[in-house]
Amino acid sequence: MRDARGDVRRPIGLRLWLSGGWLALLTVAALCAPWLAPKDPLMQDLFLGRMPPFWMEGAEPGYLLGTDSLGRDVLSRILYGARLALIVALVAGTLTCVIGATLGLMAGYYRGWTDRVISRFVDIWMAFPPVLFAILLIAVLGPGLVSIIIAIVIIDWTRFARVIRAEAMSQGAMDYVASAQVAGRTRFGTMLTEILPNVLPTIIALLTLEMGIAVIVEAILSFVNLSISTDSPTWGGMIAEGRTSVHQAWWVLVFPLITLFLTVLSFSQLGEGLKDRFDPVLR
Amino acid sequence: MSGFLSIRNLTVHLRGGGPILRAVTMDVAPGQVHGLVGESGAGKSMIGKAVLGTLPRALEITGGEIWLDGVDLLALAPAARRKQIGATAALIPQDPLTALNPGKRIGPQITRRLVDILGWRKSDAEARARDLLDEVHIPDPVRVMRSYPHELSGGMRQRILIASAFAAEPRLIIADEPTTALDVTVQKQILRLISDMQTRHGTALLFVTHDLGVVSKVCDTLSVLYAGKVVENARMRRFFMRPIHPYSAALLAATPIYTDPDRGLTPVPQTVIDAVEREVEHHDVRAGA
Amino acid sequence: MIYELRDLHLSLPDMSRKPLLGAAPRIEILKGVSFDIPKGAVLGIVGGSGSGKSTLGRAMVRLLEPTSGHILFDGTDITHLSEDALRGMRRRFQMIFQDPMSSLNPRRRVGGIIAGPMRLHGMDGLRARVDEALDMVGLPRSFAKRYPHELSGGQRQRIGIARAIALRPDFILADEIVSGLDVSSQAQVLNLLQDLVADLGLTLAFISHDLSVIRRLCDRVLVLHHGQVVEQGPTADLFAAPQAAYTRELLDAIPLPDPDQVWR
């Protein structure tokens, strides 16, 4: 029978293009920072402190987005800061995802004692206040890139575990799983070949969201001075410094803030966009 | 207009897409039961939704008239239309499990419309609800009104929805597959109940169903739909004796009957589908011209 | 006999009444079910919701483990066999599910859905076998490349049938497989099933709430009510002279498309 319900076309995601574009731009910036950055991000020049961005009166040529109170070039520092932000996003996001999703998938699909052990563990884990936990952790491990990544993974794997567990549970109740059992597929095989492909879109959406969160957490830790050593440029560190002089030089605060905002937004939008795009059921 | 509900050339389109209803014309006489039959996707539920003004946002009415109690609903402003519908029509929904709010007690769910929209006094509305629950054979109405939906069986919940539909004495009730989710034995009780209530209250009833057996038990007249087009309007008895449209006849022949096991089951033949598809196409061409 | 069931009991934990601490109370769904299915029979299993008919079906293909009693499949007691022990014989008893939307993995193409179980059982020439299975259920071979959501309800249910028959099983359990379909696709699927049973020499158990459908398809009927068999026998006899009160109640409640039926 003819049925017009199938005629609706989904518009191709503009947000996918915008968010993907911004992140691609950022990746290029991070990779090519030494060639792209107009100045050395660490070079101080106290005579050029708090220079405004190029369109304002009193701007110094060569310093497009102005300088901070120590005379360091804001644009160069943002570009170098992207390196750290993206490394943290990729490594911490992926590790969190793999650990959390694996545990969640097992808990949700195997149920029984596997689920009880993992779920109790998640419940207890989540009872710790996360930021305090992270600060404590870095105090013990000492600041540094590895510490940040470990802190993010340890705090956030529960998010994956909980969401993926629920998703795996609802997929596990579907008859295609019973059908695989009737066909003689092993439990583990069913989990990998039947359940995993169906929770993958959710995992991808969560992963990109997590990458955004990792960028924020790194910025927060930099803000409270618990990130990398203070001389390597980070967005959080720039925001912390900019805050103190916001009345004299707003650009030191605002430009890294906008970059951070756009990056985190792009990560979450990319996830939603990809989920829509690569889902044969929705497509 | 010859009906209490008269639908004339009602056309509904998917926004920016093809037609869902194609110039549907039908009448529901006062106090009579009119069946809407067709296979899934034929648009039978959409007619009820168009009348009640609850079409999904993706659909829009693009033509025709819906006369309810002598007023063309589509000619009214939205607020006046809602008021007219609220005063004359009610719905018995398909799924008794989701149609009641699980977090609220039964009593307020029945009386809310009476109190909030029709401005009844609370005590009057509660007395009315008790009487109605009694009328739909629910034992101990006072206790049931204090219960939550999950404490009641599917059949009980469907009875409550029926009571609720009749609460404001509407003159038209639209029942959208009200027994599809129920067992045959419960279905029989519920269908009888709907018929009895409808007769006693003199309500006109638009009954949406896919089951020709059900139609033959409750309806006075019916319309058969294919792809959003009415292929036959008929009086019930005549329809089962002598279906006029080949698609109607094919639909009847495809329905299994346990009393007649030797009758081979005939799927709707491709020639009939092709013919009715051509009719739909001709309609679209004429509508486009 | 392909199936022999003896005094089968099955209870499941009732999670809705689970106390905060301790185990959930168990509700008994099957209360001593016994019957046989001879080779080549088409058995209808009928009952209302809550009769335990789906649970019975799932126990027969060992998606559920009975609490007590015995299920013999072709002489082998499979009642408590472990999943590992069952795996080798699973090819021989297959199931078609009620809701094809839920029983076909939405992220797989039809070809993969039909080939998957055959690959597990080490069958070869999968492409040809998928084509053959599609031919047998009357669908074009090109459907192998489609996703389930691109098909109509009746077509999806044929894929479920194709997946089951492709394994060349001895027995197929069909659980309410036409209840979600329109009458015209229902008639097609029933006719198809009838032809396949004859052509492939299948034994079929057909679970349904609809006695008219069972009358059409089955040579034996079993009526289940509250987890017990209230009546069983050859279809013609049972419809001509129903013995149990519940069977009569079920028959009387069916609305026939006939305005002259006495239904009050």
> Each residue of B239-271: pLDDT tens digit?
999 999 999 999 999 888 888 877 767 888 888
> Is residue C99 less than 8 Å (CB to CB) from chain A?
yes
The pLDDT, as a whole number, for residue A230 is 58
Torsion of CA B49, B52, B58, B59, to 10 degrees: 70
Contact B266 C209 (CB under 8 A): no
Q: Which of B114-118, C45-49, C233-237, C257-261 has the lowest mean pLDDT?
A: B114-118
Residue carrying structure tokens 């006999």: C1
Give the residue ranges of DSSP H helices in chain A. Answer: 14-31, 33-36, 74-110, 112-126, 130-141, 145-172, 175-183, 187-190, 196-223, 235-244, 250-277
Nearest to A7 among B14, B227, B277 (CB): B14
Per the document, the length of chain A is 283
Q: Check pLDDT > 60 for residue B156.
A: yes
Specify if A189 maps to a domain.
yes
The pLDDT, as a whole number, for residue C6 is 96
> Beta strand pairing status for C171-175 and C93-96?
parallel
Contact A183 C167 (CB under 8 A): yes
Contact A4 B19 (CB under 8 A): yes
Q: Which of these CATH numbers, 3.40.50.300, 3.40.50.720, 2.40.50.100, 3.30.70.100, describes C1-73+170-254?
A: 3.40.50.300
> Is residue C262 less than 8 Å (CB to CB) from chain B?
no
Contact A2 B39 (CB under 8 A): no
**Domain boundaries along the sequence of chain C:** 1-73+170-254, 104-168
- Chosen for mutation from B265, B270, B272, B276 (greatest number of chain C CBs closer than 10 Å) is B265
Cα(A26)–Cα(A78) distance, integer angstroms: 10
Are C238 and C231 spatial neighbours (Cβ–Cβ below 8 Å)? Answer: yes
The pLDDT, as a whole number, for residue A4 is 46
Q: pLDDT category, A8, cuts 50, 70, 90?
A: very low
> Is residue B185 less than 8 Å (CB to CB) from chain C?
yes
Once rounded to an integer, what is the mean pLDDT over residues B75-79? 92
> Is residue C163 less than 8 Å (CB to CB) from chain A?
yes
In Å, how far is C45's CA from the nearest CA of chain A? 20
Once rounded to an integer, what is the mean pLDDT over residues A237-264? 86
The pLDDT, as a whole number, for residue A108 is 94
Nearest to C184 among B214, B237, B267 (CB): B267
In Å, how far is A76's CA from the nearest CA of chain C? 45
Contact C106 A185 (CB under 8 A): no
Q: Check pLDDT > 70 for residue A5.
A: no
C5 has which bridge partners? Answer: C35, C71
Which chains are adjacent to chain A, needing at least 3 Cβ pairs under 8 Å?
B, C
The pLDDT, as a whole number, for residue B2 is 65
Q: Check pLDDT > 70 for residue A6.
A: no
The pLDDT, as a whole number, for residue A7 is 45
Once rounded to an integer, what is the mean pLDDT over residues B213-219? 94
Q: What is the ipTM of this complex?
A: 0.85
Contact C90 A197 (CB under 8 A): no
**A231 CB neighbour count, 10 Å cutoff:** 9
Count of structural domains, chain A: 1
> Is residue C250 less than 8 Å (CB to CB) from chain B?
yes
CATH class of the structural domain B5-287: alpha beta
The CATH number of the domain holding residue A233 is: 1.10.3720.10
Instruction: Classify residue B167 as exposed, middle or buried by CB count within 10 Å of its CB (0-12, 13-18, 19+).
Output: buried
Are C70 and C7 spatial neighbours (Cβ–Cβ below 8 Å)? Answer: yes
Q: Check pLDDT > 90 for residue C21.
A: no
In Å, how far is A9's CA from the nearest CA of chain B? 9
In chain A, the residue whose alpha carbon lies closest to the alpha carbon of C91 is A183
| pLDDT tens digit sequence for A114-134 | 999 999 999 998 888 877 777
Q: Check pLDDT > 70 for residue A281.
A: no
Once rounded to an integer, what is the mean pLDDT over residues C242-253? 93
Once rounded to an integer, what is the mean pLDDT over residues C175-202? 91
Per the document, the length of chain C is 264
Q: pLDDT category, A11, cuts 50, 70, 90?
A: low
Interface contacts A/B by beta carbons within 8 Å: 28
- Its domain, for residue A173, covers 14-26+64-278
Q: pLDDT category, A147, cuts 50, 70, 90?
A: confident
Specify if A34 maps to a domain.
no
The pLDDT, as a whole number, for residue B269 is 87
Q: Among candidates A221, A61, A198, A201, which has minimal Cα distance to A141?
A: A221
Mean pLDDT across chain B, nearest whole number?
Answer: 91
Q: pLDDT category, A280, cuts 50, 70, 90?
A: low
| pLDDT tens digit sequence for C111-160 | 999 999 999 999 999 999 999 999 999 999 999 999 999 998 889 999 99
Q: Which of A174-183, B74-83, C11-20, C28-37 has the lowest mean pLDDT?
A: C11-20
